Amino acid sequence: MWRVKSLDAILATAEKKSLHRSLGAFQLTMLGIGGIIGTGIFVLTAEAAQKAGPGMMLAFVIAGVVCAVAALCYAELASMVPVAGSAYTYSYAVLGEFVAWLVGWALILEYAVAASAVAVGWSGYVVGLIEHSLHVTLPVALTSGPYIAGGIVNLPAIIISLAVTGLLILGTTESATVNAVLVTIKVAALVAFIALALPVINDKNFHPFAPLGTPGVIGAAASIFFAYVGFDAVSTAAEETKNPQRNIPIGLIGSLVICTIFYLLVAAGAIGAYGAQPVFGPAGEILAPGSKALADQCSTLSAAGDMPLVCSREALAHVLRQIGHPAVGNMLGIAAGIALPSVILMMIYGQTRIFFVMSRDGLLPGVLSKVHPKFKTPHIVTMITGVGVTLAAAFLPVGKLADISNSGTLFAFLMVAIAVMILRVKQPNRPRPFRTPLVWIIAPIAAAGTIVLFMFLPHDAKVLFPIWSAIGLVVYFSFGFWNSGVRKGVDEVPELDPNAPATGVPPMPGAPAPGSKEERS
């Protein structure tokens, strides 16, 4: 189970069964921004405020730094191994099949649960928009899970999850133009928020800066980490990128820098314009984000005419309404409603991509990459993923989903940082089109940062990760161990459908269609 699939074998496999290379640096950066800007900043601002108060600004910096050093490690590996699979592929080449399986299994947790979190965040904005613009109050029983008093199931989250799953099964993908438009909508919404909130900042709202101390700030960073993780979607597109050695690092680091600047400005505006102090219980006790106790206390405050930031399911729109811009707040809600489904699509799509590569290596059944005879899409794996995403979105709060997703992401990032260091020792002469600067400082910081953030995740998320990993080990030793392509001495799994595209999956969102004018240019 410690067998390694060499970098040369991975590159050879990808060359024989490669994805279509058509993405450039600009498209990758847009892809990264599109994946990063989503529920994290639009919704989790409230979650971070409950843990850190105004200190969430520092939490954004901490999470951004950890992501930045991890992105530098990602960039080196992605430029060396420009194939699909992200951290799973890198781990297979360096740390062996067993660790690669755990990373791939963790990435399943990251992408699927992240899609659920975005679906719940989308639900909050759409429900708020309907209530404030149409003055129609939807029943709590159908717009919230059991974590809210009176809630049963989050129906809007179910609808959007199933809709995106259906689109992926039908083969509907975003063109580069549509993806850029959606990114523009999200960025325009944040620019509008910043322009209206920053001028009315009140210094008093920043005090006390860290009401729950350093643990609260680091805990908020562990949760707000979710707001950044979309950047690794860029590395999953490595096999579809023109000149990946140059363009992958640009896409990774460029999208991360742009989004970090936006996040800090948005956080400053939300805190300074409206305030972001945590809500305490009747006896002054600390209330956990996403808990029923917090929901009950927020209901009490709302009934009294007070709605703190931490109580809002549509944090940024709520701030704009409270500072005298209800129309713009509603427009921001519309922007979130239009743009967030693209993030759900990217997360579910990334999930199918990981499944595909693991299936190509023989670690998962080949049926998972079976192609629909009409739509030419991996319909079985897409349906399985869609059902899982829908069930989680129906019953769990956005904060818990984000924390669960973070646990898988942090593990994957840790393995990437370790892999970079091991490769520098074992294969120092292998060409590296992009080299992580100060690797013996950057990579250890990335590894230590991921471990610290994991330790500050809520107890539920930390406990669920080893349980999920244990389930994965049962699957591995039942199937993957025995059917591994490396174990059998083969580099690739034969195509199940000779008439299907080489990958068995549609082009990556943002990629021009084969043969199109955009591709030829």
- For residue range 32-70, list pLDDT tens digits in order: 887 788 767 877 888 889 999 999 999 999 998 999 899
Report yes or no on 384 lying in a domain.
yes
d(CA 111, CA 101): 15
pLDDT profile of the chain (521 residues), mean per 10: 67 55 76 76 84 92 91 83 72 85 88 89 88 86 82 93 86 58 84 93 91 92 85 67 78 86 91 91 84 85 86 88 91 86 81 80 82 77 90 88 89 91 88 87 96 92 92 92 80 42 42 45 43
How high is the pLDDT of residue 455? 94
Position 517 in a domain: no
Query: Distance between CA 53 and CA 94 in Å, rounded?
Result: 41
The pLDDT value recorded for residue 509 is 43
Measured CA to CA in angstroms, residue 318 lies from 104, 120, 280, 310 at distances of 38, 17, 20, 10
CA 436 to chain centre: 23
Domain-embedded: residue 167 = yes
Residue 518 belongs to some domain of the structure = no
Query: Domain for residue 333, yes or no?
Result: yes
- With a CB cutoff of 8 Å and minimum separation 6, the contacts of 34 are 179, 182, 183, 186, 230, 342, 343, 346, 510
462 found inside a domain: yes
Q: What are phi and psi of 154, to 5 degrees?
A: -90, 90
**What is the helix (H) or strand (E) element at residue 42, kind and residue range?**
helix 39-42
**Number of domains the chain contains:** 1
For residue 71, the enclosing domain spans: 9-511
Residue 354 belongs to a domain? yes
Hey, what are 12's tokens? Answer: 């050879």
What CATH number did the domain enclosing 220 receive? Answer: 1.20.1740.10
- Give the residue among 169, 115, 85 at the shortest CA–CA distance from 388: 115
Q: Give a yes or no: residue 4 inside a domain.
A: no
pLDDT of residue 471: 94
pLDDT, position 515: 46
**pLDDT for residue 514:** 43
CB 354 within 8 A of CB 364: no
Residue labelled with tokens 């847009």: 30
Contacts of 107 (CB under 8 A, 6+ apart): 86, 87, 88, 351, 354, 408, 412
| Predicted local confidence at residue 508, as pLDDT | 43
